[in-house]
Amino acid sequence: MNPLEGKVAIVTGAGQGIGREIALLLAGEGSKIVVADINYKIAENTAKEIESRGVEAAPYELDVSSGEKVKEMVDKILDKFKRIDILINNAGITRDNLILRLKDEQWDDVLRVNLKGAFNCIKMVSKVMLKARSGRIVNISSIIGLIGNAGQANYAASKAGLIGLTKSAARELGSRGINVNAVAPGYILTAMTEKLPEEVKKKMLEQIPLGKFGDPREVARAVLFLVSEASDYITGQVISVDGGMAM
């Protein structure tokens, strides 16, 4: 039997990039997957890929920053699958600018999606997990939340906030069998990082002890560890997957 057979996992922002790889890897271990993304077309794509591998998947168009929409989705999932075992808060955006030029809108958008989005999902899904007295939650933070970055004050604040949220949720939910952890990826090759200027990429490479950028699958493997039995006694932790960039 596959280790995650019979489980149901929600992965937000799973239409592409890291979220898609997480969804595919968890599905490969037998978990049914709810593919939630603000962009329905790519969510449907990921879900189709999972189904072609013989695992049940359901695509949802979801803006994580709307508590109401998250609730609607959770209700639909319960109707369809009757349970939720795993929540991966992966949806995230960047709106980069130096602080002096950072617009209120850029600040608000990033905090609303990256931090409030995770709060909305934890709030709704933990209700279900509390009843079941079991669950795994993994928040995708970032190395930038640990070390900061010029031009990304909003993103860094949201990702550092996610770590505080992770630890608080771990303390609140631990006694009911729910583990909450975070993964802090470094520089991973996806659409989000593709748009960075070559000069910035070159500078970043110089700061990575392993001497290469990461692959979304490498982040997905850390997430798989955190939702598997192998991490039963681990909660409130942040695992960096960054080639040694932040140590």
* Chain positions contacting ligand NAP, by CB under 6 A: 12-13, 15-19, 37-39, 42, 62-65, 90-93, 113, 117, 140, 142, 185, 187-188, 190-193
**Shortest distance, position 60 Cβ to ligand NAP, whole Å:** 9
The residue to which tokens 């898609």 are assigned? 20
Between CA 93 and CA 192 the distance in angstroms is: 8
Longest dimension (CA), the chain: 55
Q: Which is nearer to ligand NAP, 140 or 178 (CB)?
A: 140
Q: Which is nearer to ligand NAP, 130 or 189 (CB)?
A: 189
Structure tokens, 126:
């933990």
**Shortest distance, position 176 Cβ to ligand NAP, whole Å:** 26
Q: Which residues of 223-241 are buried (b: 16+ CB within 10 A; e: fewer)?
A: bbbbbeeebeeebbbbbbb
Examine the residue annotation and report whether 233 is marked as an active-site residue of this protein: no
**Shortest distance, position 191 Cβ to ligand NAP, whole Å:** 4
Between CA 114 and CA 162 the distance in angstroms is: 8
Between CA 207 and CA 185 the distance in angstroms is: 14
Q: Which of these is catalytic: 40, 155, 187, 233?
A: 155
Question: Is the CA virtual torsion 190, 239, 232, 73 positive or negative?
Answer: negative
**Shortest distance, position 68 Cβ to ligand NAP, whole Å:** 13
Mind telling me the catalytic residues? Answer: 155
